[in-house]
Structure 1
Amino acid sequence: MAEISGTNGNHDVVLNVNGEINNHLPPPSAPKRKDSDIGLSVSFIQKLMAELLGTYFLIFAGCASVVVNVNNEKVVSHPGISIVWGLAVMVLVYSVGHISGAHFNPAVTIAFATCRRFPARRVPAYISAQVIGSTLAAGTLRLLFSGPHDVFAGTSPQGSDLQAFVVEFIITFYLMFIISGVATDNRAIGELAGLAVGATVLLNVMFAGPITGASMNPARSLGPAVVSNHYKGIWIYLTAPTLGAVSGAWVYNMVRYTDKPLREITKSASFLKSSRSSG
């Protein structure tokens, strides 16, 4: 029997040669699972807790390396401090990145919000959690190393304010450019995000640390400043990293767009070439 197919509303309609209409309903779909059934639902309070704790441990470890280095005759050394900051970022990204996104940085949060990759209404809460975590970490260090061992673990310009501003802008731009690549572009290898971001922080602290302290993070500078009442150049560390992060995110978004098909892009990727040659 000949049939002519078409659509009507939400189901298929088949008209046979005898003028009879057969409604062919689609097969029942599997029941949708709630987010909680597949482990994707995380409450906003949990996200804030992850940001607070992550920022706390990041600032505690990084600033502790600075304090210990001063109090123990440079035993940690500047390269050691750089490694501590890089490793702290890396392990925390892998630990809580799947919960809160592992920002730990108001500049990163603001940059994501300006690119509409983070809800703007959640920015104040995230920044509050990050600043509280940084302040608590700095306060903990102040209690542990008070008296004659008191060391300012914050950041302050070692040269002119203009030099510090430009350096902080550039290194935060660089950091946010890398974050945007490995965390928001589905063509990147997401599993390497923590390693890439941690390595970028290590590199920036290595060469910019002696100049500005390599903050790249308003919370990293604000927490110790509040605890130690030391606000020299604080405006630099609040504005330059924020402007650098926003610029880095937007520039990567411009680079991200390409007319090449995805297959052509991945075909030329070096990591695929190496995997094929090793296979």
Structure 2
Amino acid sequence: MTSHAEEIEDEQISRIEKGKGRDCHGGIETVICTSPSIVCLGQKLIAEMIGTYFIIFSGCAVVVVNVLYGGIVTFPGICVTWGLIVMVMIYSTGHISGAHFNPAVTVTFAIFRRFPWYQVPLYIGAQLTGSILASLTLKLMFKVTPEAYFGTTPHDSSGQALVAEIIISFLLMFVISGVATDSRATGELAGIAVGMTIILNVFVAGPISGASMNPARSLGPAIVMGVYKGIWVYIVGPFIGILAGGFVYNFMRFTDKPLRELTRSASFLRTVSPNNSASNSKS
């Protein structure tokens, strides 16, 4: 038989689990540590930070290693590494935070009402924190020479790099929208599809712009290493491309529903047409 004190303790634990715990000092509602929504948001931010950290760490580390150790990784190896780490982190944290890892993706989801606006600054902060921490780790691990700089700078002109970033960012968001937000797609394949898209984009645009597609990917190394050449390209380009990719796919998805409704209406009219009624009466 439980005592009265134990019953009170169980009731308090139950209230805490429901986010209704009270401060023992002033009877003030305790929100930060006892609200399930706050705890859930904290888990999402940690997942975004860790995911972004390992994407930047692995993808940028392979760039440094390739330069410092005589091209041992090769350019195709760099492309595959970027795709693999993105795929791995999507499957690791996608069910927790949605696996954005990209401020432009987060903003685009919010614009199309697939993500709450109040969480956007927090997600972006977590993504930038992960990128900066990964860049600091690489700076401490390696003696990074100017040739081994693991950030992104335009190879030739900023205009050429901007166009490349817009195009590959468009493709990235188009694929993300197709495999991760459309209920008709096979969601289990989202990580593979996005990872393969990253590999293709790095193959195509890597020698031109560095294939960033992600403001956090470029800002972290730039801040840590103090290299800001053409940094605006990697903020403007991904945002334009990703917004455009999301808009185009959502336009296609929205026009699908009216077409299906028209088809159903036509089928319904055929079933209740006078000819059908007459044939039914004769039978």
- Same fold by TM (over 0.5)? yes
- Aligned-partner Cα distance in 1 for 2:102–2:134: 14
Instruction: Determine whether 1:222 maps to 2:219.
Output: yes
Instruction: Determine whether 1:57 maps to 2:54.
Output: yes
Of Structure 1 and Structure 2, the greater helix share is in 2
Q: What is residue 232 of structure 2 aligned with on the other side?
A: 235
In the alignment, which of 250, 253, 261 is matched to residue 247 of structure 2?
A: 250
In the alignment, which of 149, 153, 157 is matched to residue 156 of structure 1?
A: 153
Change in 2 beyond 3 A, CA 1:135/1:116: same
Instruction: Determine whether 1:168 maps to 2:147.
Output: no
Tell me the CA shift for residue 243 of structure 1: 1.3
- Aligned-partner Cα distance in 1 for 2:119–2:111: 12
Change in 2 beyond 3 A, CA 1:197/1:147: closer
Say which is worse superposed, 144-153 or 239-248, in terms of deviation.
Answer: 144-153
- Cα deviation digits, residues 68-111 of structure 1 (max 9, x gap): 00011111011000000000010110000000000000011011
The amino acid that maps onto 1:201 is I
List alignment gaps of at least 5 residues for structure 2.
1-16, 20-35, 264-283
Of Structure 1 and Structure 2, the greater strand share is in 1
Tell me the CA shift for residue 151 of structure 1: 2.7
- Aligned-partner Cα distance in 1 for 2:178–2:161: 26
- Aligned-partner Cα distance in 2 for 1:146–1:161: 28
Change in 2 beyond 3 A, CA 1:98/1:167: same
Q: What is residue 95 of structure 2 aligned with on the other side?
A: 98
- Cα deviation digits, residues 110-169 of structure 1 (max 9, x gap): 111111111111110000000010010011000000266983100000111111111101
Change in 2 beyond 3 A, CA 1:252/1:147: closer
In the alignment, which of 109, 112, 118 is matched to residue 109 of structure 2?
A: 112
In the alignment, which of 135, 138, 145 is matched to residue 142 of structure 2?
A: 145
TM-score, length-scaled by structure 1: 0.78
- Aligned-partner Cα distance in 1 for 2:65–2:101: 23
8 A contact 1:113–1:120 mirrored in 2: yes
Change in 2 beyond 3 A, CA 1:150/1:205: closer
TM-score, length-scaled by structure 2: 0.76
- Aligned-partner Cα distance in 2 for 1:59–1:147: 15
Q: What is residue 182 of structure 1 aligned with on the other side?
A: 179
List alignment gaps of at least 5 residues for structure 1.
1-33, 265-279
8 A contact 1:69–1:77 mirrored in 2: yes
In the alignment, which of 31, 39, 42 is matched to residue 45 of structure 1?
A: 42
The amino acid that maps onto 1:73 is G
- Cα deviation digits, residues 12-52 of structure 1 (max 9, x gap): xxxxxxxxxxxxxxxxxxxxxx999xxx9761000000000
8 A contact 2:67–2:147 mirrored in 1: no
8 A contact 1:173–1:248 mirrored in 2: yes
8 A contact 1:145–1:151 mirrored in 2: no
Q: Compute the RMSD of aligned alpha carbons.
A: 2.1
8 A contact 1:71–1:149 mirrored in 2: no
Change in 2 beyond 3 A, CA 1:214/1:148: closer
Tell me the CA shift for residue 246 of structure 1: 0.9
Q: Percent identity?
A: 58
Tell me the CA shift for residue 59 of structure 1: 0.3
Say which is worse superposed, 125-134 or 140-149, in terms of deviation.
Answer: 140-149
What is the total number of aligned residue pairs between the two structures? 227
- Cα deviation digits, residues 206-233 of structure 1 (max 9, x gap): 1110000000000000000001000000
